[in-house]
Amino acid sequence: MKSNIIPRMELLKASPYFSGLSITELEEVSRLLFERSYERDEIILAEGDETGALYFVASGAVKVFRASADGKEQILAIVLPEEAFNETPVFNGGINPASAQAMTPVVVYGLNSGDMEAVLRAKPQVAMNVIRIMAKKLRYLVSLVEELSFKRVISRIARILLDYAGDGAAAGMRLTQRDMAAMAGTAREVVGRSLKELVENGTIRMERHRIIISDRDALEDIAEQSF
């Protein structure tokens, strides 16, 4: 199955980076874009490399992640069509802070940092847009860092699991990772990581569509912890 590739002009029109620009201005930007395609699982950007381009997803889904020293993967974002990734090195120079991998066949449009800089100088409206987008991102990342470093989410997830657990006899309430994220006040990515941690420390088991609480007391302890 091949999903539609969003044409350049359509993507630029939809992108918050370029809102407020005229059609002529968008056409100028569109001429600066280059196109790349990737197979599923292919690495688009490697953490630590110098890439120097801002990417817009024209088709498919891209996973942005960091690997920790012990090889654990922390998903920072799943980037969907019309959205952008790799902003940081574009705006402050330097290396890619995270890796990006194609979750599906992917088509991206790239804009080299040099070209982006020229656009920013020529069109202050774009600079204003960038500030707005970066502020929003910063807010998200700060909350992610807070959750990850203080581990409060994991106790909230433990509490949710205990509250919603049934005995398996009657059809119990069913929860998605998104539901749990909404209840814990966090991002879906953080829930995935918390569940993994609970599996690793032996308090729960995950069997396809079932989460089995294997050590209720230990899970209670985690739920009680305040960091």
Cα 165 from Cα 211, distance rounded (Å): 9
Rounded least distance, CB 203 to other proteins, Å: 10
Q: Does the footprint of other proteins cover residue 201 (CB under 8 A)?
A: no
As given in the structure block, the two tokens for residue 94 are: 């330097």
Q: How far apart are the first and last CA of the chain?
A: 47
| Residue whose CB is less far from other proteins, 122 or 212 | 212
As given in the structure block, the two tokens for residue 135 are: 């502020």
Q: Does the footprint of other proteins cover residue 217 (CB under 8 A)?
A: no
Residue tagged 């066949």 (tokens): 105
Q: Per-residue x/- mask for other proteins, residues 62 to 91, rule CB under 8 A? A: ----------------x-xx----------
Rounded least distance, CB 215 to other proteins, Å: 8
* Three-state DSSP class for residue 108: strand
Q: Does the footprint of other proteins cover residue 216 (CB under 8 A)?
A: yes
Region 154-173 residues binding other proteins, contact defined as CB under 8 A = 161, 164-168, 171-173
Region 95-134 residues binding other proteins, contact defined as CB under 8 A = 103-105
Q: Does the footprint of other proteins cover residue 43 (CB under 8 A)?
A: no
Is there a contact between 156 and 150 (Cβ–Cβ < 8 Å)?
Answer: no
Q: Does the footprint of other proteins cover residue 60 (CB under 8 A)?
A: yes
Strands (E), 12-115: 34-38, 43-45, 53-59, 62-67, 73-79, 84-85, 99-102, 106-112
As given in the structure block, the two tokens for residue 25 are: 């201005």
Cα 94 from Cα 110, distance rounded (Å): 17
Q: Does the footprint of other proteins cover residue 37 (CB under 8 A)?
A: no
Q: Which stretch binds other proteins (CB under 8 A): 26-34, 47-55, 123-131, 209-217?
A: 209-217
Q: Does the footprint of other proteins cover residue 39 (CB under 8 A)?
A: no
Rounded least distance, CB 101 to other proteins, Å: 12
Residues of this chain that bind other proteins (CB under 8 A): 1, 3-4, 40, 60-61, 78, 80-81, 103-105, 161, 164-168, 171-179, 188, 192, 205-206, 208-214, 216
